[in-house]
Amino acid sequence: MEKFNHQSLSYKKSQLLLDQHCLNSISKQMKTPFYLYSVKALENNFNNFLNSAKENNISKPIICYALKANSNLKLLKKLKKLGCGADIVSGGELKQALKAGICPTKIVFSGVGKTRDEIRLALDCHQEGIYSFNIESIEELVTVGEIAKSLGKKARVALRLNPEVNAKTHKHISTGGLGHKFGILRQDIEKCLKRKSLFKHVKLVGLSMHIGSQLTCLKATQKALKELCETALLVNELEFLDVGGGLGVPYHPEQGVSPINEYMKRISSTIDKHYNQKRPAGAVIPATVFEPGRYIVANTGVLITEVIRTKTSGPNKFIIIDAGMNDFVRSSLYDAYHHVLPLKKNRTKNEYVNIVGPICETADSFAKNRALQRVKAQDLLCVADVGAYGYSMSSVYNMREKIKEYVLGTNGEIL
Ligand code: LLP
């Protein structure tokens, strides 16, 4: 079997365990395929993130979890209990965050296409509105101002800088370059700051950035953050700098561990050197907002799937499973690596197989040429690290029903 080393998954007496709980036994009560999330891993990840920020002297860290990664209500309620805020990108996500009890004063609203209805909803959901609209264009700033005026409110806004950096990651999820639809160029922010009329019904409280996802090389992050700090110096006073999300996680055995400490260290030193030490006289040290999605949830989730049948075609062996690209699309869309592990180890020798779903597209593949023990129809397999962008990107393609999500409590109970 392939090499793997995981925080929450391990084998004991041939059985695959999630947090020490036997996945085979749990799966007996459920219909495959299904998602299962570990609360324990979720709490660990959140605490690691916050502790790492504190250990690296990040001033006033505020964690706004990016709901797009996984908006399961039970997980959100746990995060809320831990003091987490939310980064949302739609009215639907706003409603879900509120349903989980997350206070609007801890919500930031990102996205290039906020509609008037969504903006109104976010302004109206609390006396003070939300913590920040992260504004992606001057046109959007004008619209938010108009709606705030009509409601007799002042909207809290941050301008999202497009720092013109190319983050090293899959091209679909790099977002900080010139030519990408995201953020506002520095020269446009400079012009905008001079137009006082733009700020009659909005209050500029922060600056933000987000240059991409699954970032493991942090050079671009540091470069972008320096730009953000230099831009911040043009404003008299800011309540916060929002450094976005994007911290990568290890999916592949060769990726080692997440560079979280290095990430926090660089953020802390860059803000200190390029903003705090140069900030305008009298300006307070701003809070640091983070929008992590993947780091908080990726390794909390598994997808349990059953082998429908196996098939040999010339030199190729296919393992056809009952989960498809509609249930989990990352491997098909980004060629992403995810461990595929048998729930029960047997003593057969590894063979090299293609693990595919039932959807009528060649892209419907979970793993190519992967070493796996011999499996047969009805055997159960686990696709690992699917807590982020798994269920949240699933669809009903091929008229397949959405699959169920379950949450494993810290005592092994299904919540
Ligand atoms: N903030 C903003 C403004 C974002 O656009 C994103 C992700 C995040 C925060 C959270 O980023 P994270 O910490 O999760 O990397 N579907 C892709 C990832 C898309 C990311 C979109 N934006 C995947 O499965 O890899």
DSSP strand pairing (132-135 vs 184-185): unpaired
Output the pTM of the full model.
0.97
| For range 290-296, the mean pLDDT | 98
For 138-196, the pLDDT digits (tens) are 999 999 999 999 999 999 999 999 998 888 788 888 888 888 899 999 999 999 999 99
Q: What is the pLDDT of residue 171?
A: 85
- Residue 227 Cβ contacting ligand 1 at under 6 Å: no
Q: How far is the CA of 109 from the centre of ligand 1 (A)?
A: 13
Last residue in a domain, options 262, 292, 322: 292
CATH code, domain with 251: 3.20.20.10
**Model pLDDT for residues 359-371, shown as the tens digit of each residue:** 999 999 999 999 9
Nearest CA to ligand 1 atom 20: 213
If we measure between CA atoms, which residue out of 216, 213, 301, 299 comes closest to residue 254?
216
Answer yes or no: do 279 and 344 share one domain. Answer: no
For residue 212, what are the domain limits? Answer: 103-292
In a domain, 284, yes or no: yes
Q: Which of 292, 320, 342 delimits the end of a domain?
A: 292
Sign of the Cα torsion 373, 379, 384, 390 reads positive
Whether residues 219 and 249 fall in one domain: yes
CATH number at residue 332: 2.40.37.10
Residues 150 and 261 in one domain: yes
Considering the domain architecture, whether residues 247 and 182 belong to the same structural domain is answered as yes
Ligand 1 site, residue 69, Cβ cutoff 6 A: yes
| Burial bucket for residue 126 (CB in 10 Å: 0-12, 13-18, 19+) | middle
Q: Into how many domains does the chain fold?
A: 2
Helices vs strands, H then E, count in the chain: 11, 20
For the segment 267-290, the average pLDDT, to the nearest whole number, is 94
Please confirm, yes or no, whether 360 is among the known catalytic residues.
yes
* Residues 225 and 319 occupy one common structural domain: no
Same domain as 285, residue 316: no
Q: How far is the CA of 294 from the centre of ligand 1 (A)?
A: 7
Assess whether 286 and 303 both reside in one domain.
no
